[in-house]
Structure 1
Amino acid sequence: MMAAITAVVSRKSPTPPILHPSSCDHRCASRFAGLQAGIRQPRPALPIIYNPRRAMTRLLSAALLFFLAACTTNESHLLVQGGTHRYRGDTMGTTYEVTVVADPQYNVRFPFLHAAIAMTLERIEAAMSTWRPESEVSRFNLTDTTDPFSVSPDTVTVFRHALSISELTGGAFDVTVGPLVDAWGFGPPGHPPTAPADAELARLLKRVGWQQLEVDAEAATIRKLAPGASVDLSALAKGYAVDQVAELLEAEGFTNYLVEVGGEVRAAGRNPQGEAWRVGIERPTAGPPTVYRTVELSGQALATSGDYRNTYVLDGQRVSHTIDPRTGQPVTHALASVSVIDPLCVRADALATGLMVLGPDDGFALATEQGWPALFLVRRPDGTLEELTTPTWAQFSAQ
């Protein structure tokens, strides 16, 4: 139910670029618009950068093989010594951008690195997309059995994170919430925005609940404890993809990079100016996007969630696309957005979702108790914003 809102900010840029959020529910990554990362060379009056949703071709793997075959014909042109390299593309119904700052003595084989990044993202989407009928998640959802279902190590890892965050948040984060999201009109196109009948909600709630899932890491299987359960990992998949690309870069020896997928980011080392990576958090209001706060990241990931770009009015009342899996109802609290910093982007992604459901009172209390660096922006009745930050947030605030 989330909107991931981030931007890379350069101290030398008078008007920093902003990443417009992708309005998301628990299943956001493949449903709504994505954003191009806002990393640019310093220049005057940089524009706000917004990229609408673009579909990723299913022929990516074949294209990559063709690309690599073509590249091998002229190997000498593939080596670049040091420098800053940026790689962009489409994935998971959104976009990605990776910036790598290589040491001067390091020879970068940049076409091969770009291909490796794209193949990493494709591997994750192929396993977890609910829009691909052949994906592991789609095939698991079609099963009507409680037998163990074999999956890849990627899916096992994401399932383990999902169940862990569900337990930490008391069920506020739940990858089985999809039927409720659809029932309220925030699912696939064609479903009118309307409130489901009480009987329908009661029926759907029986299919929702993270306790209906089980994962066996040693056996590399997942299992439904209730045959009717279905899952959508979109609220973690982008964050996990960010982490996997970061691990790829580190395995290749890079220590200075920023990875962004659909607005979720993870940074390490220094930016091209030799400073900590500066990432902007969008003001959660309607209208052109502007930066509300800026944080400095190195060795950390950031995810932001909000509900201010995907709502409708029903009987005079604002209906949020943030659905509480525990009640089946849209949340009614005044929390506009919440940002979370964590070493792992998959955790930051899921925690932001869960805290957005919990709201400014319970969510802030939980984040403070757990020591999570978090920024809560709450709507006041007059339209202004109240800012709540946990004690561990201050260390990341940019001066």
Structure 2
Amino acid sequence: MGTQFSVILYAENELLAKEASDAAFERIEELNGIMSDYIEESELNRLSRTSGSGQAVKVSDELFEVLRTAWVISEKTDGVFDVTIGPMTRAWRVKRMMPEPQLPDDNELEELLSRVGYQHMVMDEEAKSVLLQKENMRLDLGGIAKGYAAEEAVRVIQTYGIRSVLVDAGGDITLGDPPPGRESWDVAVPKVRRDPSAEHIRLRLAGKTVTTSGDMFQYIEIGGKRYSHIINPKTGIGSTDRLQATVVSSNGMYADAFASALTLMDPEDGIALINRLEETEAVIFQNTEEGIIEWMSDGIARFVY
């Protein structure tokens, strides 16, 4: 999944803590082997290689669950979130490594866009199968798999009777019960991610996932213009709007995916979407020359202190 995981937990003794954390990391590694697009023989990449064959492929329960949730989120975001974006993300990885990065030309963009579209990922609930209708489609779960894996790690640890746990998946934080004697975990999110001295929004959370996305994390400069590493599947280009979104949700995949999607949407439209969801809240920051502009969902205030 292209990120590092870390765990904080409160156990009765060191042996139990080690057993639980080892089991959690084993589960994360198992899921990485299923969902990584960096591992050539991952289940995800094997599925991608069947695109255009007309063959529906039975997949693991884990992969089907993530792809099904991704499809639902694509519908809710009108395709702004789309796990079939793999051809674009792979092309942009190459661009970022060039000595002098450049934007894809119109012909390249047209070819890449022709291979993207969640509507061409057909899922059969009963058979647990997936059909990729177009040739040369490529799936990329980078915007959703971390949230799933972090939740799974928490679930595994809690089977050992350990309730107070935090799993950090490269900034996607999934929380169990709070530490002993505390009512919550306290999470601070800087409004300008790369500036440690920047003002923070502080959240009190338990039993939630909190994820932050935006070009404060990764970006590329081309011709003096800054492009986010989060690519818009409708245009094939990274956002230039300098948006950062933090999402809090009871669903780790929702937190992960909607945080990415919100950075590609009009902030008011994005917050309106979040307000229609259950158990999901968000705050969006935009870094402008005049300062930082904020948008908050209706229920986020109950977590802010």
Partner of 1:246: 154
CA distance in 2, matches of 1:313, 1:112: 45
The question of whether the paired residues in 1 share the 8 Å contact of 2:245 and 2:263 is answered with: yes
The number of residues matched between the two structures is 303
1:199 maps to 2:107: yes
CA contact (8 A) 1:158 1:237 kept: yes
2:249 aligned residue (319, 342, 345): 342
Larger displacement relative to structure 2 (252-261 or 285-294): 285-294
**Equivalent in the alignment of 2:270:** 363
Distance 2:184 2:48 in 1: 42
Cα deviation, residue 190, structure 1: 4.3
**Hey, what's the Cα distance between the residues in 1 that align with 2:158 and 2:193?**
37
Please say if residues 204 and 303 of structure 2, whose CA atoms lie closer than 8 Å, have aligned partners that are also in contact: yes
Counterpart check, 1:390 vs 2:297? yes
* TM-fit CA distance, 1:185: 5.3
Distance 2:100 2:122 in 1: 33
Q: Partners of 1:132 and 1:234 in 2: how far apart?
A: 13
Deviation at 1:271, TM superposition (A): 1.4
1:140 corresponds, among 47, 64, 69, to 47
The alignment's C-alpha RMSD in Å is 2.3
Structure 2: segments with no counterpart, 5+ residues: none
C-alpha displacement of 1:201: 0.9
User: For the residues of structure 2 that align with 1:211 and 1:392, how far apart are their CA atoms?
Assistant: 32
Aligned counterpart for 2:117 among listed residues 209, 212, 219 = 209
Offset at 1:369?
A: 3.5
Name the CA distance, whole Å, in 2 between partners of 1:334 and 1:261.
23
* Contact 1:302 1:341 (C-alpha < 8 Å) held by counterparts: yes
User: Matches of 1:205 and 1:191 in 2, distance apart?
Assistant: 25
Equivalent position SS for 1:170: coil
Task: Name the SS for the 1:109 alignment partner.
Answer: helix
The separation in 2 between residues aligned to 1:352 and 1:118, in whole angstroms, is 24
Alignment partners' CA distance in 2, 1:146 and 1:290: 52
Q: Kindly indicate whether the alpha-carbon contact (under 8 Å) linking 1:338 and 1:376 is maintained by their aligned counterparts in 2.
A: yes
| Inter-CA distance 260–291: structure 2 relative to 1 (3 Å threshold) | farther
Aligned residue for 1:303, secondary structure, equals strand
Aligned-partner Cα distance in 2 for 1:175–1:317: 26
**Superposed counterparts of 1:172-187, under 5 Å:** 172-184=80-92
Q: Which amino acid aligns with 2:176?
A: A
User: Aligned equivalents of 1:223 and 1:375: distance in 2?
Assistant: 36
Instruction: For residue 148 of structure 1, report the CA deviation from its aligned partner.
Output: 1.2
1:212/1:142 CA distance change after superposition, 3 Å: same
Q: Is the 8 A contact 1:376 1:387 kept in 2?
A: yes
Question: Amino acid of the residue matched to residue 134 of structure 1?
Answer: E
Alignment partner of 1:292 is 2:189 = no
Structure-to-structure mapping, 1:82-231, within 5 angstroms:
94-102=3-11, 109-144=16-51, 145-184=53-92, 189-190=97-98, 192-231=100-139
Whole-Å separation in 2 of the counterparts to 1:263 and 1:126: 21
Post-superposition shift, 1:187? 6.1
User: Which blocks of at least 5 consecutive residues in structure 1 are unaligned?
Assistant: 1-28, 31-93
User: Highest CA radius of gyration, 1 or 2?
Assistant: 1
**Take 1:186 and 1:385, find their aligned partners in 2: how far apart are those partners?**
32
- 2:230 and 2:14 mapped to 1: Cα distance? 46
Contact 1:339 1:376 in 2 (8 A): yes
2:218–2:229 contact (8 Å) kept in structure 1: yes
Report how far residue 191 of structure 1 moved. Answer: 7.9
For 2:203 and 2:19, how far apart are their aligned partners in 1? 32
How far apart are residue 138 of structure 1 and its match?
1.4
Change (3 A) 1:316 1:131: closer
Alignment-derived partner of residue 220 in structure 2: 312
**Quick check: 2:215–2:227 contact (8 Å CA) kept in 1?**
no
Q: Cα 1:232–1:184, aligned 2, differ >3 Å: closer, same or farther?
A: closer
CA–CA distance in 1 between the matches of 2:230 and 2:140? Answer: 15
Shift of 1:126: 0.7
- Structure 1 stretches of 4+ with a deviation exceeding 3 A read 181-192, 285-291, 369-372
Following TM superposition, by how much is the alpha carbon of 1:340 offset from its aligned partner in structure 2, in angstroms? 0.6
Cα deviation, residue 359, structure 1: 3.4
Report how far residue 314 of structure 1 moved: 2.8
Instruction: Give, in whole Å, the separation in 1 of the partners of 2:289 and 2:8.
Output: 41
CA pair 252-286 structure 1, distance change in 2 beyond 3 A: closer
Q: Secondary structure of the equivalent of 1:164?
A: helix
Question: C-alpha distance in 2, partners of 1:374/1:339?
Answer: 6
Taking only the aligned residue pairs, the percentage that are identical comes to 30
Question: What amino acid is the match of 2:31?
Answer: I
- Mark the CA change 1:202 to 1:246 in structure 2 (over 3 Å): closer, same or farther: same
Whichever residue aligns with residue 139 of structure 1, its letter is R
Amino acid at match of 2:227: V
Give the superposition deviation at 1:240.
0.7
Q: Which runs of structure 2 are paired with 1:232-271 in the superposition (5 Å)? A: 232-271=140-179
Alpha-carbon offset, residue 285 of structure 1: 4.8
State the alpha-carbon separation in 2 of the partners of residues 185 and 114 from structure 1.
32
Question: Could you tell me which of 192, 206, 209 is aligned with 1:301?
Answer: 209
